[in-house]
Amino acid sequence: MSQEPETAESEEPSHERLAQLAEMEARIDVRFRDRSLLDEALTHGSHAHEGRDGKRLSYERLEFLGDAIVNAVAADILFRRYPDASEGDLAQLRSRVVSEPAFARLARRLELGKYILLGRGEEKAGGRTRNSLLSDVFEALVGAVYVDSGYGVAHAFVARWIIDSIEELDTHESPDYKSQLQEIVQQRERRLPRYRISGQEGPDHDRAFVAVVELGGRVVGKGKGRSKKEAEQAAAESALRRYQGS
């Protein structure tokens, strides 16, 4: 006699939880066909482990997916918005838009904190207001929208919420420290600074380049950045402080 395969039991959301999920849908202006995805995106691992037999899902998998989608959408928007920007420039711009502080701010605008299910210990530790957790939940929310409604809806959702950060790039351009340094050095020493990438730091997923700027063979500035260009700008900024006596 054959037996039916065992399946993991899952906790059905309470009426109160269903009401919260409906509020969340209205807040983000996205209606889910499968609300369990939204519930999963708003469930921290600490709460999941307190569920029935520890089988309740948490947001980690959706966060992994959402992270990739947010990066893709931001890259798409920046690529079209800045047609003359180099690959390095685009990567630097994206790093300013796709970041933990930026996503935490969006999570607060959406009031995600009040809808997150946390374990008792995480609740007492203030997890509901922690930037890293809020950022993770925003990415998980993007992942849930994608799984439920596809890339087109997810793209529109992400674009709507990151557009303010992207528009800020137009009004907060990074200073060109290399040009400023070159002008000062040419006036004072009649020579040009030379930049060199001296090494790399950090793990593969968070690699940073280290650059130095030299004058006449001596190092006058050092800096780090996610791209070689960003590292050189940081080195130039360091040298400028030295020249300006600050």
Give the tens place of pLDDT for each residue, 29-75.
999 999 999 999 999 877 666 654 445 578 899 999 999 999 999 99
Give the tens place of pLDDT for each residue, 107-146.
999 999 888 888 776 777 766 788 888 999 999 999 999 9
Look up the pTM and report it. 0.63
CATH 3.30.160.20 for domain 177-244, yes or no, is: yes
Estimate the crossing angle of helix 87-97 against helix 228-244, to 10 degrees: 80
Percent of the chain with pLDDT over 90: 37
Active site residues: 67, 139
Integer Cα distance of 246 and 244 in angstroms: 6
- DSSP 8-state secondary structure symbol assigned to residue 172: S
**Of the candidates 6, 10, 8, the residue with the CA atom closest to the CA atom of residue 51:** 10
**Longest Cα separation, the chain:** 92
Q: Are 171 and 52 in contact (CB under 8 A)?
A: no
Would you state the CATH architecture of domain 15-171?
Orthogonal Bundle (1.10)
Dihedral, 119, 35, 8, 69 alpha carbons, nearest 10: -80
The alpha carbons of the chain give a radius of gyration, in whole angstroms, of 24
Structural domain spans, the chain: 15-171, 177-244
Dihedral, 142, 143, 144, 148 alpha carbons, nearest 10: 110
Integer Cα distance of 178 and 181 in angstroms: 5
